[in-house]
Structure 1
Amino acid sequence: MTTLERLWLCEAIRLREEHAGPLEDGEANRRAVAAGGALGQRIQARAGFLAARDGQLEALQHWRQGARLALLALLVLALLSGAGLGFAALGDGQRPVNVFWALGSLLGLHLLTLLGWALGLAFAGDSGGALGRLWLWLSGKLARDAQVAQLAPALLLVLQRQRLGRWALGSLVHGLWLVALLGALLILLALLATRRYGFVWETTILGDELFVALTQGLGALPALLGFAVPAPETIRASGAAALAEPGARQAWSSWLLGVLLVYGLLPRLLLGAFCAVRWYAGRARLGLDLGLPGYQLLRERLLPSSERLGVLDPAPAPLAGGPAARLATDSDGALLVAVELDERRAWPPKLPAGVADAGVLDSREQRQHLLEQLSRFPPARLAIACDPRRSPDRGTLALLGELARSAASTRVWLLAPPPGEALDSERLGDWHAALEQLQLVHADSAPLRWLETGHD
């Protein structure tokens, strides 16, 4: 995952919590603290876990797929629109081509949108133009995921921090116009190569010299690249009727192509390259605004005072019996823990050497303590004992999933009922179905040999 995507998910999670309230993030915070690093890195680690858990990471992938499809659709539309401009400018060859009407057809909308982009950049700050907004809208529609609605605003907020939105959308807009004008240029070349066109200019109130000056002025820059400019006599003669001389036709054709290239394609190419350079240079400066209230609330949870100020007192002793201490020195350790057992049940069973007992988890504080220990010292094998006479409620299943993610390998031990008690088969089936949904292996007999050796 790129830095931009991590920051993007952080903003999406922050916006979600601002609108819907704080998320259940106990496990995410523990994992972020265990990963270490500065506050910004821990916020990114927390957001990555929450996004993967709640489906926003998958929604981001869907948005990216939608963005690619939207870009492809816009590129095809731009190419077809450019081809249409080329056909509209020259026509079918049955009538002479009015050179300045053709030039207006090819460059008029391009110059107006270019002026609009420049004004938006100067006064609005972040100008993506209508094409940029269309692309964002299409990306969300093609993603077909309800959660992408939170992603587009989050992306814009991330980019606006370094004023990168203007350069990202600017690259897109200029790239699409470049494709459109390139399509028009290719159609012009194809039509001029396969049909015979005559060129004229027409006016009622303007004089010949104005068109001479305008034609030569527009052709000055293309002439530096080798494009022909009609002679003054040719320009004047073209005001009465289309000239039949091949030289005049070729001069007007070359002038039209040169003007389209210099005043159409080259500005879009240069501006697109400029926006792309600013975009890639600015991405290195992207970061989180840690002064935002949503991130300030996470500071104490992800960067406790003991870490920021230094450890003032020795750490409390780990769990009774020392499983954490054992795991700290033996990364291949094995651990047995029970969840909400009846007090009348004898516990723990006799454990093999090398298997630690984490006791019975009955309270929230006990669960929190064990999860913090496991985040620092994950065991290689973890067995979780459960009483299948109890219903597999959502809280218990969430705890089982979190414990399982803290160990390399996990098994759930469904304890047999005490002598004289029958086990409800329907409830046992509920346990089996819930554990299969969590993708957890369950055992109906004590998995002590597996805890000791790693196999049955």
Structure 2
Amino acid sequence: MTRTLSPPRQHPIPAKPVNPNRLDALLIAETVRLVEADAPLDDDEATRRAAAMDGGREQRLLARAALLADRLGLWRDLQAWRTRAVIAWAGLGLLVFLAGYGLLQGLLGGGRTINVMLAFLTALGMHFLTLALWLLGLLAGAAALSRLSLGNLLLRIASWRASGAGASAYRSRLPPAALALLDRARLLPWLFGLASHAVWSIAFVLALAGLWLMFSFREYRLTWETTIQSSEFFVGFIEATGLLPRLLGFPVPDAAALAADTAGVQRSLAWWLIGCTFVYGLLPRLLLTLLCAAVTARRRRRLALDFGDPYYRKLLARMDDIGRSAVIDPERHAPAASADEDMRAAADGRALALVGFELPPECPWPPPGIAPAPRLSINVSGSGDQRREALLALQAQRPGRILFVFDQAASPDRGAARFLREARASGGAASLLLLPVRGGDDACANRWRAWLADSGMGNLRTFDDACAAAAWLEGRDE
């Protein structure tokens, strides 16, 4: 593959944040992927440094992207993008204020007579329309409809290309990278909904405050003006729309009071309009804001790199080749203990353990073909805390047989080797199930077997079939 050198820097580029959060690191990695889709970068040094780092495959990929982003100025672009987002949000808030003021003017007009039906439609008509579009896009999964929102408008404003010497040539890759990352986690409509519902909530707060002030300090006459509709239709509309506001304590006139048309009816009609704006406008937007915030917080944990992408698979293969060709591992262990010694370490030969290690998020657990799962079933994501918890659980149970489950398309590394050695010491016989969940093939499985042999663990039995592995775990292969 032909590699091109990155353009020389013409301005000092600030180093990346000392401890970038996970969302920033993922966004930078996706941006680097899009940059390299146009032209490969000179990444030999960054790839070597990332391959030599401890941690799982995602940590090494994020480290490589962070090193390249530091050189390309992407961290600075991300910081500038956030600044523009804050400015865009402030500008959007100003527009909301002006829209709220214009809404009041449209409702109350220049005179003292208000058509209550027209006021109801003016206050809630556009709200109902945009809410229906958002719900339709959410239910149908229509990305086009979900992007017809104030949240998408905010993203577009924040993504406006900044001019000047501080902007890098790769800043335009940040917005599509963010969209791809969020869309893959099905987070896009909820995040856009969060921004949209929050803006609408502010608009309704302004409208309600203005209505209350205007009705408190000026006298208006609320009437029903029509040419073709009857008064019964007006009365029925007021009673139907006033059901929910009445339940929350808002005064709503009944049919007899509307027929009397007294000063008290005018006051009740004013509270009916305020109550409808609150119940049908502000309240659902506030609830949807909270719902979108909760879903966004939960689904944010799903954000991850797509290891099925050929780009990342090639990078992992390169890092694996670099790690095997360079003598960088300071840990040199003595040859692994024999299978007999491993068996003597087990205190309970009847206990069984199923341990997954750094499996892709979409991989079901336990794997298909292993059912029911043994009592000790652990799926380790690769974090240090989970590894320690898994080792403590194995030491407490000391199972007679342990079946380790790996993604055969993943690149074996020192972290996997260290975990295998420590976990095997807590039990008896051990075997590996190599799941082809990421497009793995015979070459991937053979790479794992060669790695096991090079690491002094060649006595471990490996399986490609989950049913055969389950038979071994349960002792039915003997």
TM-score (norm 1): 0.64
Once the 2 structures are TM-superposed, how far is the Cα of residue 148 of structure 1 from its aligned partner? 2.4
> In the alignment, residue 75 of structure 1 is paired with which amino acid?
G
Between the aligned partners of 1:259 and 1:19, the Cα distance in structure 2 is: 53
After superposition, the Cα gap between the structure-2 partners of 1:95 and 1:217, relative to the gap in structure 1 and judged at 3 Å, is same
Between the aligned partners of 1:234 and 1:206, the Cα distance in structure 2 is: 20
> In the alignment, residue 66 of structure 2 is paired with which amino acid?
G
> In the alignment, residue 156 of structure 1 is paired with which amino acid?
L
1:194-213 equivalences under 5 Å are: 194-213=217-236
Which residue of the other structure, out of 187, 194, 204, is the alignment partner of 2:210?
Answer: 187
Q: Percent identity, please.
A: 40
Question: Partner of 1:164 in structure 2?
Answer: 187
Question: Partner of 1:11 in structure 2?
Answer: 30
Kindly indicate whether the alpha-carbon contact (under 8 Å) linking 1:69 and 1:142 is maintained by their aligned counterparts in 2. Answer: no
1:95-110 equivalences under 5 Å are: 95-110=112-127
Question: Partner of 1:51 in structure 2?
Answer: 69
Kindly indicate whether the alpha-carbon contact (under 8 Å) linking 1:185 and 1:257 is maintained by their aligned counterparts in 2. Answer: yes
Are 1:68 and 2:91 an aligned pair? no
Kindly indicate whether the alpha-carbon contact (under 8 Å) linking 1:211 and 1:235 is maintained by their aligned counterparts in 2. Answer: no
SS of 1:228's equivalent in the other structure is coil
Between the aligned partners of 2:138 and 2:162, the Cα distance in structure 1 is: 29
Question: Partner of 1:23 in structure 2?
Answer: 41
Between the aligned partners of 1:263 and 1:163, the Cα distance in structure 2 is: 28
Between the aligned partners of 2:291 and 2:323, the Cα distance in structure 1 is: 47
CA shift digits 1:389-430 (9 cap, x unpaired): xxxxxxxxxxxxxxxxxxxxxxxxxxxxxxxxxxxxxxxxxx
SS of 2:219's equivalent in the other structure is coil
Are 1:221 and 2:244 an aligned pair? yes
Which residue of the other structure, out of 156, 165, 168, is the alignment partner of 1:137?
Answer: 156
Question: Partner of 1:253 in structure 2?
Answer: 270
SS of 1:199's equivalent in the other structure is strand
Which residue of the other structure, out of 88, 99, 109, is the alignment partner of 1:81?
Answer: 99
> In the alignment, residue 18 of structure 1 is paired with which amino acid?
A
Are 1:294 and 2:328 an aligned pair? no
Kindly indicate whether the alpha-carbon contact (under 8 Å) linking 1:167 and 1:275 is maintained by their aligned counterparts in 2. Answer: yes
Query: Greater Rg, structure 1 or structure 2?
Result: 1
Kindly indicate whether the alpha-carbon contact (under 8 Å) linking 2:35 and 2:170 is maintained by their aligned counterparts in 1. Answer: no
Once the 2 structures are TM-superposed, how far is the Cα of residue 141 of structure 1 from its aligned partner? 1.6
Kindly indicate whether the alpha-carbon contact (under 8 Å) linking 1:84 and 1:184 is maintained by their aligned counterparts in 2. Answer: no
Between the aligned partners of 1:305 and 1:28, the Cα distance in structure 2 is: 12
CA shift digits 1:338-387 (9 cap, x unpaired): xxxxxxxxxxxxxxxxxxxxxxxxxxxxxxxxxxxxxxxxxxxxxxxxxx
Between the aligned partners of 1:7 and 1:246, the Cα distance in structure 2 is: 62
Note the residue ranges of structure 1 that are not aligned, 5 or more in a row: 238-242, 316-456
Are 1:280 and 2:297 an aligned pair? yes
1:435-450 equivalences under 5 Å are: none
After superposition, the Cα gap between the structure-2 partners of 1:75 and 1:311, relative to the gap in structure 1 and judged at 3 Å, is closer
Question: Partner of 1:303 in structure 2?
Answer: 320
Question: Partner of 1:359 in structure 2?
Answer: none
Once the 2 structures are TM-superposed, how far is the Cα of residue 62 of structure 1 from its aligned partner? 0.7
Once the 2 structures are TM-superposed, how far is the Cα of residue 307 of structure 1 from its aligned partner? 5.5
Question: Partner of 1:351 in structure 2?
Answer: none
Between the aligned partners of 1:45 and 1:125, the Cα distance in structure 2 is: 34
Once the 2 structures are TM-superposed, how far is the Cα of residue 298 of structure 1 from its aligned partner? 0.4
Root mean square deviation of aligned Cα: 2.2
SS of 1:202's equivalent in the other structure is coil
Between the aligned partners of 2:185 and 2:297, the Cα distance in structure 1 is: 12
> In the alignment, residue 24 of structure 1 is paired with which amino acid?
D
> In the alignment, residue 74 of structure 1 is paired with which amino acid?
L
CA shift digits 1:78-118 (9 cap, x unpaired): 122122212210123x3311001111111111111111111
Kindly indicate whether the alpha-carbon contact (under 8 Å) linking 2:51 and 2:322 is maintained by their aligned counterparts in 1. Answer: no
Kindly indicate whether the alpha-carbon contact (under 8 Å) linking 1:208 and 1:236 is maintained by their aligned counterparts in 2. Answer: no
Are 1:231 and 2:254 an aligned pair? yes
Once the 2 structures are TM-superposed, how far is the Cα of residue 123 of structure 1 from its aligned partner? 2.1
Between the aligned partners of 1:160 and 1:221, the Cα distance in structure 2 is: 37
Question: Partner of 2:279 in structure 1?
Answer: 262
Once the 2 structures are TM-superposed, how far is the Cα of residue 306 of structure 1 from its aligned partner? 5.7
> In the alignment, residue 56 of structure 1 is paired with which amino acid?
L
Kindly indicate whether the alpha-carbon contact (under 8 Å) linking 2:88 and 2:157 is maintained by their aligned counterparts in 1. Answer: yes
Between the aligned partners of 2:321 and 2:96, the Cα distance in structure 1 is: 54
SS of 1:97's equivalent in the other structure is strand
Note the residue ranges of structure 2 that are not aligned, 5 or more in a row: 1-19, 333-478
Which residue of the other structure, out of 140, 165, 180, is the alignment partner of 1:123?
Answer: 140
> In the alignment, residue 214 of structure 2 is paired with which amino acid?
L
Question: Partner of 1:384 in structure 2?
Answer: none
Once the 2 structures are TM-superposed, how far is the Cα of residue 231 of structure 1 from its aligned partner? 2.4
SS of 1:304's equivalent in the other structure is helix
Between the aligned partners of 2:322 and 2:70, the Cα distance in structure 1 is: 28
> In the alignment, residue 28 of structure 1 is paired with which amino acid?
A
> In the alignment, residue 117 of structure 1 is paired with which amino acid?
W
> In the alignment, residue 77 of structure 1 is paired with which amino acid?
L
Are 1:91 and 2:109 an aligned pair? yes
